[in-house]
Amino acid sequence: MSDQRDGSKIRDEFRRWEQETLQASLDRFPERRSQFITTSSEPINRLYTPVDLEGKDYLEQIGYPGQYPFTRGVHSTMYRSRQWTMRMFAGFGTAEETNQRFKYLFEQGQTGLSVAFDMPTLMGYDTDAPEAEGEFGRCGVAISSLRDMETLLQDLPLDQISTSMTINSPAAVIWAMYLAAAEKQGVDKSQLRGTIQNDILKEYIAQKEYIFPPEPSMRLVTDTIAYGSEKVPLWNTISISGYHIREAGATAVQELAFTIADGLEYVRWALDRGLDIDDFAPRLSYFFNAHNDFFEEIAKYRAARRIWAREIRNTFGSKDPRSWLMRFHTQTAGVSLTAQQPEINIVRVAIQALAAVLGGTQSLHTNSMDEALALPSEHAVTVALRTQQIIAEESGVVNTVDPLGGAYFLESLTDKMEAQTYEYFDKIEALGGVLPAIERGFFQGEISDSAYRYQREIDQGIRKVIGVNAHKDHKDPEIPLLQMDPEGFRNQVDRLDQLRREREPGRVGQALDRLRIACQGTENTMPYILDAVHAYATLGEIIDVMKEVFGVYREENWI
């Protein structure tokens, strides 16, 4: 009883002290009543104390690293035993050019591949398709066939490295090309490690790189989950992505809530297919943004792990602790980079990367200083990679696990974000679930509103962006920009023409016919996609067959 009375007395004293000092501060500086907000426009208290944690059993709530609910990290030793994977997102022009960039990055100390594809590839078009005109290689590498994939991966030890591929609507086809290329290298599927993003729900919500309607798209995602669970056991068949939701203008809480809601929807589809949750959930992974607000981002990652662990264990009845782990990749916020004073983007990226590390990421990409102007130059991407290496080797933040755990502000912010996430879950459920919410424009409207509010805060000077509306420099430094091979497009088209002449037309036609029949039925499409890829059917040819069966999605205008 004495301990309880002492604790109550301390809390009363803190409440009285907070009220008195806060009121005195507001009386002196009335303009500060609403001045301090997070990047997501959430108000921040002047001070956080044990009062903000009242009524919580924090040993149970945050636990220990490597133990449920994994608030403090998915591994007990975290970076003391193994650093995060330094996985620089790369891709431009032809497969040859990107292959050389990959090799350069490995020479500089990168520890995992991350492939960026160009817009025609992302939308399922061959490079020479009329719809692809003018878009070759601009935002990533062009991959139109297995031959391109073979060139992209030439001389890379696929049995020793982990590869991430940011591809969504055509993900099953691009993954099949990777599996086939590995097979040609003599690497068995069971040895391959990596991730396909394969997150179609966030395309309807934010990024808009969809091809097929939601139902057949979800079928393709579930096909890859089922196939990977059986045939490619070390591969993450989906990376549920909040990154693009945040880049579209979402707040941190919206990124957290909408992303996990998507993840839980994928779980439901896999269970409806008849899969056991502990056969596939350990290979589900996540992909988050690291934005400017240092503590808000760290709290977001901690809340994410706790929510996922609770839902997978308690709601879906998983028995395997590996299924409860939320493993995630992080990328610093591209939307935060400025074309003005591009060199100061190095500082932004360093702060964001540090937040990702202190938040417990398993993999990290750091953006380059020049990305508001062009694809990264070799110099810029080296600086971005060195930023990670300095954090890992010089900063000391890897020496202990979750060094900020237990901080009053951080734990209070983590709790608040968790509570707000569940409020969003309730709203989504009231609309009938994720797909009905997408069809009614709920996610799109929420993101649009927050993006508008954020821009208004910048325009009104409430939110400062250095170099844009504060501390402007009238003469920005000139930095070298990436120059792609001017003959790249012609070389790519010539390779496609040669492929079509050299392959066996009958084999291609038969493989595409079998794929069409599989799409019309209920079989898993992955074996048929693989057959078509092995026959050197092009990406566009395979996607066209699927379009015939599934149709093409057109989003309703919600304005």
Tell me whether residue 480 is in a domain: no
Strands 284-290 and 328-332: parallel
User: What is the CA angle 106-108-114, rounded to 5?
Assistant: 45
Tell me whether residue 378 is in a domain: yes
The torsion of the CA quartet 512, 514, 517, 518, rounded to 10 degrees, works out to: -100
Percent of the chain with pLDDT over 70: 91
Count the domains in the chain. Answer: 1
Tokens of 464: 């400062």
Tokens of 505: 């037309």
**pLDDT tens-digit profile of 79-102?**
999 999 999 999 999 999 999 999
535 close to 503: Cβ distance less than 8 angstroms: yes
**pLDDT at site 556:** 78
**pLDDT at site 34:** 47
Tell me whether residue 184 is in a domain: yes
d(CA 97, CA 108): 17
**pLDDT at site 432:** 97
Residue 329 belongs to domain spanning: 59-394+406-459
Buried residues in 454-470 as b, exposed as e (16+ CB within 10 A): beebeeeeebebebeee
d(CA 296, CA 38): 7
Rg (CA), the chain: 24
d(CA 109, CA 452): 40
Q: Is 399 helix (H, G, I), strand (E, B) or coil?
A: coil
Question: Can you give the pTM of this predicted structure?
Answer: 0.91
**pLDDT tens-digit profile of 266-320?**
999 999 999 999 999 999 999 999 999 999 999 999 999 999 999 999 999 999 9
**pLDDT tens-digit profile of 8-41?**
666 666 566 656 655 554 455 444 444 688 888 8
Q: The domain that contains 378 carries what CATH number? A: 3.20.20.240
Q: Is 311 helix (H, G, I), strand (E, B) or coil?
A: helix
Phi, psi of 282 (to 5 degrees): -65, -20
Tell me whether residue 529 is in a domain: no
Burial bucket for residue 8 (CB in 10 Å: 0-12, 13-18, 19+): exposed
Tell me whether residue 142 is in a domain: yes
**pLDDT tens-digit profile of 390-409?**
999 999 999 999 999 989 89
Q: What is the 3-state secondary structure (H, E, C) of 498-552?
A: HHHHHCCHHHHHHHHHHHHHHHHCCCCCHHHHHHHHHCCCCHHHHHHHHHHHHCC
d(CA 366, CA 352): 8
Tell me whether residue 388 is in a domain: yes
Q: What is the 3-state secondary structure (H, E, C) of 460-506?
A: CCCCCCECCCECCCCCCCCCCCCCCCCCHHHHHHHHHHHHHHHCCHH
Tell me whether residue 472 is in a domain: no
Residue 351 gets the label, from left (phi > 0), alpha (psi -120 to 50) or beta, of alpha
CB atoms within 10 A of CB 541: 21
242 close to 255: Cβ distance less than 8 angstroms: yes
Tell me whether residue 179 is in a domain: yes
